[in-house]
Structure 1
Amino acid sequence: MDFSVITGPVSRFLATAQNGIEVLRYGGLETGAVPSPYQIIESVPMYRLRRYFPPDTRPGSAAPGSPVLMVHPMMMSADMWDVTREDGAVGILHAAGLDPWVIDFGSPDQVEGGMQRNLADHVVALSEAIDTVKKVTGSDVHLAGYSQGGMFCYQTAAYRRSKDLASIVGFGSPVDTLAALPMGIPPNVGAVAANFMADHVFSRIDIPGWLARTGFQMLDPLKTAQARLDFLRQLHDREALLPREQQRRFLDSEGWIAWSGPAISELLKQFIAHNRMMSGGFSIRGELVTLADITCPVLAVIGEVDDIGQPAAVRGIKSAAPRADTYEYLIRTGHFGLVVGSKAAGQTWPTVASWVKWRSGDGPLPEEIAPMGAQPSESAIDGGVALTSRVAHGAAAASEMAFELARSAADAVVATNKSARNLIVETARTLPRLARLGQINDHTRISLGRIMTEQAESHPGGEFLLFDGRVHTYEAVDRRVNNVVRGLIEVGVRQGVRVGVLMQTRPSALVAIAALSRLGAVSVLMPPDADLAEAARLGGVAEILTDPANLEIARTLDRRVLVLGGGEARDLHLTESGCDVAEVIDMEKIDPDRVELPGWYRPNPGFARDLAYVAFATINGELVARQITNYRWALSALGTASAANLGTRDTVYCLTPLHHPSGLLVSLGGAVVAGARIALSRGLAPDRFVHEIRQYGVTVVSYTWAMLREVIDDPSFSLSGTHSVRLFIGAGMPTGLWRRVVEVFAPAKVVEFFATTDGQAVLANVAGVKIGSKGRPLPGGPYVELAAYDVGDDLILEEDSGFVRRADAGEIGVLLARPRGPVDPTASVKRGVFAPADTWVSTEQLFRRDEDGDYWLVDNRSSVIRTPDGPVFTAAVNDAISQAGAVDLAVTYPLEVRGEPLVVTAVTLRPGGSLPSAEINEAMATLRFGIGPAVIYVAPSMTLGASYRPEIGPLRAAGMPKASRNTWYFDIDTKLYKRMTAAVRAEIIGDQP
């Protein structure tokens, strides 16, 4: 009888029972493994710094190799680098002659205050550990981080500007998190969900270790179930289980630690919802950081079938760090298999060791490592692991195939309806703003100060103001505003008082304007390049609020001067001879806590109808004051936020001075009502522009007129790699510059606004497709009409009934707006226009409306130049000549020659550009209305005003252009522009030979 038939199953049963009891009692099988030796080099509450296999310090001992500092993710134990001594990371690197170090953040639930840790704490701690390793070894450090630990490495390298770093190795570490989220979650859904979880879930709770383990396993439930089933099936075979027992115990129980709520919230908000590792502008203890500052080499280890750190997300480092030499090593394994297991021991760590040696000049670049190729500018619909890779990997192929087929079908629908999905998202964001805009009436309490209070109450920790590389929250800015309000009350400023604001575009200027709004006073925004005495008179200024930089200018005005901002160490020189000290008050010396608020004070008292600001414009050489009500501000702010689809993920870069309506109404207003961040700059310079859009993670850039030419036309301007900018918003951009901007910053668009200072008419080119168009009226904004116009008699045309005739498509008309709220007393008001007793405000601007309903500016009524040969519409001429590719700026103006107006168009050319006669004639053939100028010439330069608008005065003062190869005249006989000779010029101006 063959007893093996009986003893075999019995032996198997007994072995299974024995091993099972050992697992139940001790949590696993006893393997006899011992951890690798290490020494604690530094121990602080935030971390312990381990040095594995500490070197022999006796004379004659071999010096250790290059230091490699390994970083674990927050939810995993630092022991992950030494799961098995022979096959673990530290052991393999040591055997290769390197010097392995590990930072151990510990389990935060076992450290006092540990569950209050945030991401910045980990980044700063890692930076300190790098300093220690550098000090002990004297060598630059190679950083190696797994999953989120690799994200820490990237963030720390950017925070340190790559100081003392030899290279970075990231294992399955996502950078472009929205390019490929786990489980195929769509980016929009993932961003919204991450933002919600950060604000409403993990701001209140933490994650214990067991939940971290469960969450990790649920990301790949099929693989987890398969691993457990395989373990049970082999429970009788101890020898088969022992090689993988340490790894199994680590993943099932020992390797997981708690995760603090603040750290999770910050991860979800900054790096998933806002994707700021790609865009830049993430905050480390108030300092703004961008991965574009990484300059050391980077090796991204990518799992071909990794569904957590998916290849598309990991490869984002190439675009995010354009100044770094970026390499990749593709290995066919999943997420955890990148660093632990047989493939990691046989492939990953030997390759990483060879990488470190190559960087140290001690060997060739491993063949498996290749330079990372350029990444697509936009993530594909399915940026995840390919279907074929999934099917070929693991025993769960059939289940994964079914899942992928379902997801592929869903993605096909998503791709087909991508515009519909975006429309839904934008509508959800836009409708509440339009609804609020439609609800505003004269008695609605609304103002800048009130909106800032609402944001501070809703999102006190929300990032709001960025300046000089630092970030300030809504709560901090709101507190500063309230303190300034107390200071203003202390010096006697009351509701309704007009205060001149003469300040540079700095945080103190923003705070000053907001404080005056909260007090109910009027900010008179004084442009520094204007006649300040005249501005003070026109604005009815009672006193001047200034900063130290403008103090001397402010003192020349016959008003009391209040000085705000400039830092604590400033010296205002208040005792200079000839100066009356009593006329200057240093607001920073007022203790707000000692100011008693009077009974009349109520914060944010302003109604929509109330005057809030006075801005200035120069018309025909004269300074004109424009009144801006709270309604006008709200209209522009809500309209901008809607037209630009601004949200909390946006950072608005305010290049426009705050004294300019565009800076106050568009940049600041749009950002505040949208809850977006606003970044202020110290000045417009190409190097600063590129650095700050990356450092701040700028998504929207504000401009005015020709401002951006100062950047993109500068020889030093260079935009290497990708950028985060999606929109440029502003007014007055020349069409030639517009084309260059969208070419240089593709795929970003330009949203061009047209708005009257009183806010009665607002247009926006939201689509950005028709370059040069002012777009259409904003939904929810003022209603506009185009009244037919007779240019010869300068009259608005009427029908036989006596009512005004509406202009047809393609016909010139005067833009009229139906007023909402108070009407500026200087406005041209018309009644009985289209119906009995109706009221309209004339903008005095001439437009045409095309067949699609888009409006095109033709000219201002006062700017039309009437000549014996016909009218010249200056704006239309400037747009036409700008069709020539080489034209940069264009200005059209009249000169008086022989008692008649001679119309001249001056242009400047792009660097290196030339303007052939044929191109001029081709461009001018596009002129739809009126006649062209008599003379066109290339000016060597143009003077730009403070708002970057070309000034006509200097050009006109220069007189008639000289004959040259860059001067053309209109030949009446051929109807073409030809080069002007000296004889032709003499004939035009009437010179006698």
Structure 2
Amino acid sequence: MDLSFSAVTGPIERLVATAQNGLEVLRLGGLETGAVPSPFQIVESVPMYKLRRYFPPDSRRGADPSGPPVLMVHPMMMSANMWDVTKADGAVGILHAAGLDPWVIDFGEPDKVEGGMRRTLTDHIVALSDAVDTIKRDTGQDVHLAGYSQGGMWSYQVAAYRSAKDLASLITFGSPVDTLAALPMNIPPNLAAFGADFMAEHVFNHLDIQGWMARIGFQMMDPVKTAKSRLDFLRQLHDREALLPREQQRRFLDSEGWIAWSGPAIAELLKQFIAHNRMMTGGFAINGQLVTLTDITCPILSFVGEVDDIGQPAAVRGIRRAAPNADVYEATLRAGHFGLVVGSKAAQITWPTVAEWVLWLSDRGPKPVNISPMPEHTEGSGDKGVPLAARVLAGIGGAGEVAMAAARTATDAVLAANRSMRTLAVETVRTLPRLTRLGQVNDHTRISLGRILGEQAHGNPDGEFLLFDGRVHTYQAVDRRIDNVVRGLISVGVRQGDRVGVLMETRPSALVAIAALSRLGAVAVLMPPDGDLPQAASLGGVSEILTDPANLDRARALPAQVLVLGGGEHRDLNLPPDADVIDMEQIDPDSVELPGWYRPNPGLAKDRAFVAFSRVGGRLVAKEITNFRWALSAFGTATAAALDSRDTVYCLTPLHHQSGLLVALGGAVVGGARIALSRGLQPDRFVHEVRQYGVTVVTYTWAMLGEVIDDPGFSLHDGNHPVRLFIGSGMPTGLWRRVTDAFAPAQVVEFFSTTDGQAVLANVAGVKIGSKGRPLPGGGDIELAAYDPAKDLILEGDDGFVQVAEPDEVGVLLSRPRGPVDPGAAVKRGVFAPADTWVSSESLFRRDADGDFWMVGSRTAVMRTARGPVFAEPITDAVSLIPAVDLAVTYGVTTPHGELAVTAVTTRPGASITPADLEDAFANLVVGLPPDIVHVVAELPLSSSYRPESAALREAGVPMTSRHGWRLDPETAKYVRLTPAARSKLVADPAGRPEQ
């Protein structure tokens, strides 16, 4: 009877309990648990946030009020109540019980606060920094900053923003740093960056995320676990006692824990930290201040979820490389994203470990057993994204793990095979429009620096463009400043076509001045501050000098109207009353009425845009640069370096130098990248600015980078840096190798451009050290004309047309002209076909079997010795690869017996070279012969562009004898000591008379 009665009443009671509990869930949103929130006091309340102090001193009942303060930070889409979901097992309760002082910042619900949906990421970071100040002031102790997910990202950013001031440590939970290291569903980084950039620019500048949207998005990240949780809840709906322990957590995740998310903040997050990945590279902006995580110096504890698909392990562990100056520890849990901070594992492992960490750093307890130094994530380490298979395994247990692992391996292989194709597609989409536009340029195309900069400002007004002295300026701000300067120039009588000297240090005002003259259609004559200014003014034909306060005195000494620009709003020029100087900063641009003739950016491709100066044989030479020439270099640089808005180009050369104007500034403007201006090459600031600005591309000339990596204080701290590329021309081969070793995995893109810009080569692959690479797409046709170096003749065939040089034969580089041709260019017609036109560069190259070009020298620099023709560049490249060699030059010396080829080298500190080194270096010369003499010199003078110079050595004649001088023995083909007797024989005339 009892059994049968129970069989009848049991299901009925279960059904009734299910109905009662279900009705309560429908009415109240969940089961009533009777839980009471932990007590807290609002210490500070401002429109941006409220600062809670849990268990304030008056309610502690004997607890030590001087416990170390811990400030907890919730992500934007979650309520601050997440830290107190369950009083007994929640974060604040556990930390309080351990003797700590828990604080929580509450950003509230932005959709219910005036202006809340216009909050930016910067607003949150600055607010969090202010909260740290408040806690420090109230407690007198340094703060332990603890952030979950995006709250942890903010914590890192605040620590960098403050340079770790008043912070005892950082504690983060599932907070990604290297956001492109591991993405959900194995999305390729390039595709993710492109998508994030698109969403930031075109979606979230118009759309906010509501709370329900955030909840659904979070649940969709792990649909298996979400479905399983709901099914378990329904199956146990009759058993109230079984549900109550997890009811508050369920209600938090299903409804109560989600808040709205402002579109501007999402857009900034997507752009800075996903599209640009600037947590890793540095150079993210807070209140206009550029910040890098290398400024974090306090200890870091990062909790890593082994099956966390949002804060994936590889992404979270990026902090190890991003913050090389901090001691970084980790604690790993077999948990998903939310399970790191709420739930049974969090109560049992996470929060006790946090308490032990804080007490350990406060010298109040031992080191936690659950933590260890964070390993550095490297490519190929196996620390990759958490795939869907892993999350399914975590949700349903270990059943079938072997089968799932096999499936996962197969899936990863397919994804890896397709990744390179998808990456290539993204790169093609980005570079094709540039090449198409460049291919459409003709003499009458309107194209100029001012025009392209204006296009970038129109398309991306809030995009970051100019970085200088730790500050960032947007395209819109720079473009507005350019327009204001144009109005000022018009007001003082400058017109289209006028030649205006620009005598300025490399500063934002110099860039603005150059761009303003371009927008006006005037010619910017770029005067070197350290050069012969009267001669430059004369050669440039300037009528006005646009200068900065630092160069004002030198400008006033020149016979031209002086205009002063820049130097700040409150500078004092200290001018005498009769000074013929116009202060451009005193002109109100709004009061200037634009004349009828003015049209912005009128410059055609054929028009002169700039005049730059260089020294040739000790003589100052003016080089006129057309808009076409500038565009060709700018588009070529942007294409060769694959520049886009994720890049920051570091301009080490001054803007009056062609490299700064054509490569750094031109490439950055065309590529939509940021440009960081430097105050000249300062080795002690190089690494700091590279990290502070998040530099990805460094421009250089010749041996410039040797000043950096050979500096005694140079250090990268375990190779941590954001640089992916060095681009420039003339880098010595030995220095090239040292740079790529020091900055691995960064590459060098070495390029060559003729003075008229008609021929451009670039070693984009960066594999063959010393090669100039191949012609850039869109840069015009290039060919090598067969050449006889002994007779200095271009060779023709029986049909009268010029012969094409065979692979590894020396040839003269010819280019088919596009755009205006310089009046002094060596134009040749009927070269390879009737009536065709080519321009000779007068430079000698060889082309290897793969189609890569190698510099041989110039026609005028061929050394025609008694042994045969000798070419300088192959020799210099070969000897520079000797590890002991620092710099080298090869030059000709005339003697009574004919011309001698001489190579001078400097050695690295403490190193020396031997004759065997020289013989090995020259053994594989592809063209030409080795030098007659090699000698070590104390130093090689460098030009202003860091090019090793040989003029003084050439004038000195045959080197004097020394322990470090060798001559080539013609009989044995080996290098032997250059003795006094051998030297005397070389310098004596055929009659035996020694040199005078």
Q: Which 10-residue stretch deviates more, 954-963 or 931-940?
A: 954-963
**2:453 aligned residue:** 452
Deviation per CA, 1:357-416: give whole Å up to 9, x if none.
Answer: 111111111111001112104786x82226885454222878999998766544312323
Structure 1, unmatched stretches of 5+, are none
Structure 1 range deviating more: 422-431 or 489-498: 422-431
Deviates more, 1:408-417 or 1:817-826: 408-417
Match of 2:923 in 1: 925
Report how many aligned residue pairs link the two structures. Answer: 988
- Specify the alignment match of 1:604 in structure 2: 601
Matched residue SS, 1:3: helix
Whether 2:766 is the aligned partner of 1:764: answer: no
- The question of 1:204 aligning with 2:201 is answered no
Shift of 1:102: 0.6
Supply the AA of the counterpart residue of 1:147: S
CA distance in 1, matches of 2:90, 2:638: 53
TM-aligned CA deviation for residue 417 of structure 1: 4.3
Q: 1:570-581 residue pairs with structure 2 within 5 A? A: 570-575=571-576, 581=579
What RMSD over aligned residues (CA atoms) do the two structures have, in Å?
2.2
Distance in 2 of aligned mates of 1:182 and 1:880: 48
Which whole-Å deviations, capped at 9, do the CAs of 1:166-186 have from their partners, x for residues lacking one? Answer: 110100111111111234333
- The question of whether the paired residues in 2 share the 8 Å contact of 1:965 and 1:979 is answered with yes
Contact kept? 2:389, 2:408, Cα under 8 Å = no
Cα offset, 1:124, TM superposition: 0.5
Counterpart in 2 of 1:564? 565
Q: Deviations over 1:935-967 (max 9, x none)?
A: 222221222122111122344455554322222
1:218 aligns with 2:220: yes
In the other structure, the counterpart of 2:661 is: 664
Q: Is contact 1:657–1:947 with CA below 8 Å preserved after alignment?
A: no
Instruction: State the alpha-carbon separation in 1 of the partners of residues 555 and 267 from structure 2.
Output: 47
Q: 1:856 aligns to what?
A: 854
- How far the C-alpha of 1:900 sits from its partner, in A, is 5.0
Letter in 1 for 2:467: L
Contact 1:628–1:757 (CA<8 Å) still a contact in 2?
Answer: no
**AA paired with 1:31?**
T
Amino acid paired to 2:789: V
Which residue number in structure 1 is paired with residue 886 of structure 2? 888
Q: Does the C-alpha gap of structure 1 residues 507 and 945 become closer, same or farther in structure 2, counting only changes over 3 Å?
A: same
| Correspondence for 1:302 among 301, 304, 307 | 304
Secondary structure of 2:208's aligned partner: coil
Which residue in the other structure is 2:932 paired with? 934
Cα deviation digits, residues 196-240 of structure 1 (max 9, x gap): 111111110111111111111111111111111111111111111
2:418 counterpart of 1:385? no
| Cα distance between partner residues in 2 of 1:983 and 1:164 | 73
CA distance in 1, matches of 2:86, 2:352: 16
The answer as to 2:631 corresponding to 1:634 is yes
> How far 1:794 moved relative to its partner?
1.7
Superposed CA offset, 1:491-524 (max 9, x none): 1111111112222221111111111110001112
| d(CA) in 2 for partners of 1:918, 1:91 | 74
> Equivalents in 1 of 2:657, 2:34: separation in Å?
75
Distance 1:330 1:287, change over 3 A: same
The sequence identity of aligned pairs, in percent, is: 71
Separation in 1, partners of 2:559, 2:240 = 94
Give the secondary structure class of the aligned counterpart of 1:431.
helix
Q: When the two structures are superposed, what TM-score results if normalisation uses the length of structure 1?
A: 0.96
1:237-256 deviations in Å (ceiling 9; x for gaps): 11111111111111111111
887-896 vs 440-449, greater mean Cα deviation? 887-896
Residue aligning to 1:291: 293
Relative distance call for 1:406 and 1:14 in structure 2 (3 A) is same
| Deviation by residue 1:25-72 (Cα, 9 ceiling, x = unmatched) | 111111111111111111111111111111149999744311101000
Question: For residues 14 and 229 of structure 2, what CA distance do their matches in structure 1 show?
Answer: 20
The 10-residue stretch of structure 1 (721-730 or 794-803) with the greater mean CA deviation from structure 2: 794-803
**How far apart, in 1, do the equivalents of 2:623 and 2:63 lie?**
81
Relative to 1, partners in 2 of residues 1:141 and 1:977: Cα closer, same or farther, differing over 3 Å? same
Work out the CA distance in 2 between the residues paired with 1:261 and 1:70. 24
Whether the 8 Å contact between 1:178 and 1:272 is mirrored in structure 2 is yes
Change (3 A) 1:955 1:138: farther
Give the Cα–Cα distance (whole angstroms) in 1 for the partners of residues 837 and 389 of structure 2: 68
Superposed, 1:347-496 pairs within 5 Å as 347-377=349-379, 383-385=384-386, 389-390=390-391, 392-395=393-396, 408-496=409-497
Q: What code does the residue aligned with 1:43 have?
A: S
Contact 2:749 2:765 in 1 (8 A): yes
Q: CA deviation at 1:646?
A: 1.1
> For 1:158 and 1:701, how far apart are their aligned partners in 2?
23
Structure 2 unaligned segments of length 5 or more: list them: 989-993
The alpha-carbon deviation at position 932 of structure 1 amounts to 3.2
- Where 1:367 maps in the other structure, the secondary structure is coil
C-alpha distance in 1 between matches for 2:501 and 2:409: 61
Q: Where in structure 2 are the equivalents of 1:948-987 lying within 5 Å?
A: 948-956=946-954, 960-987=958-985
Kept in 2: contact 1:298–1:327 (CA 8 A): yes
Q: Retained in 2: the 8 A contact 1:487–1:592?
A: yes
* Other-structure match for 1:114: 116
SS at match of 1:581: coil
Deviation at 1:683, TM superposition (A): 2.3
Distance in 2 between the 1:631 and 1:402 partners?
61
Cα distance in structure 2, aligned partners of 1:547 and 1:54 = 58
1:828 aligns with 2:826: yes
User: Alpha carbons of 1:487 and 1:387: their partners in 2 closer, same or farther (altered >3 Å)?
Assistant: closer
- The alignment partner of 2:749 has SS state of strand
| Map of 1:12 onto structure 2 | 14
Deviation of 1:795 (Å): 1.9
Secondary structure, counterpart of 1:227 in structure 2? helix
What is the rounded CA distance, in whole Å, between the counterparts of 2:405 and 2:583 in structure 1? 67
User: Is 1:99 aligned with 2:96?
Assistant: no
| 1:318 counterpart residue number | 320
Which of 140, 145, 149 aligns to 1:143? It is: 145
Give the drift of 1:899.
8.1
Please state how far the C-alpha of 1:886 moved relative to its aligned partner: 1.6
Separation in 2 of the partners of 1:965 and 1:374? 48
Change (3 A) 1:865 1:548: farther
1:490 partner amino acid: S
Alignment counterpart, residue 701 of structure 2, candidates 694, 704, 715? 704
> Matched residues in 2 for 1:541 and 1:754: separation?
30
Letter in 2 for 1:770: K
Distance 1:593 1:438, change over 3 A: same
Structure 2: distance between partners of 1:421 and 1:238? 52
Once the two structures are TM-superposed, the CA of residue 803 in structure 1 deviates from its matched residue by 2.0
Specify whether residues 711 and 11 from structure 1 end up closer, same or farther in structure 2 by C-alpha distance, changes over 3 A only: same
Aligned to 2:78: 76
Offset at 1:897? 4.4
**SS across alignment from 1:653:** strand
- Tell me whether 1:615 sits opposite 2:615 in the alignment: no
Q: Distance in 2 between matches of 1:954 and 1:567?
A: 43
Cα drift, residue 476 of structure 1:
0.5
In structure 1, the partner of 2:713 is 716
Instruction: Provide the rounded CA distance (Å) in 2 between the counterparts of 1:465 and 1:98.
Output: 45
2:272 corresponds to: 270
2:682 corresponds to which letter in structure 1? A
Q: 2:907 aligns with which of 906, 909, 918?
A: 909
1:408-463 Cα offsets, whole Å, 9 max, x none, are 54431232344433322221111111111111111111111110111111111111
Answer yes or no: is the 8 Å Cα contact 2:145–2:171 preserved in 1: yes
* Residue 726 of structure 1: aligned partner: 724
Q: Bigger CA drift: 933-942 or 975-984?
A: 975-984
2:991 is matched with which residue?
A: none
- Could you tell me which amino acid in structure 1 is paired with residue 922 of structure 2? M
The answer to whether the 8 A contact 2:393-2:399 is kept is no
* Residues 119/894 of structure 1: CA separation in 2 closer, same or farther (3 Å cut): same
The worse-fitting range, judged by mean Cα deviation, of 782-791 and 404-413 is: 404-413
Q: Residue type matched to 1:527 in 2?
A: P
CA contact 2:184–2:386 (8 Å) conserved in 1: no
Structure 1 window deviating more from structure 2 (277-286 vs 952-961): it is 952-961
Letter in 2 for 1:464: F
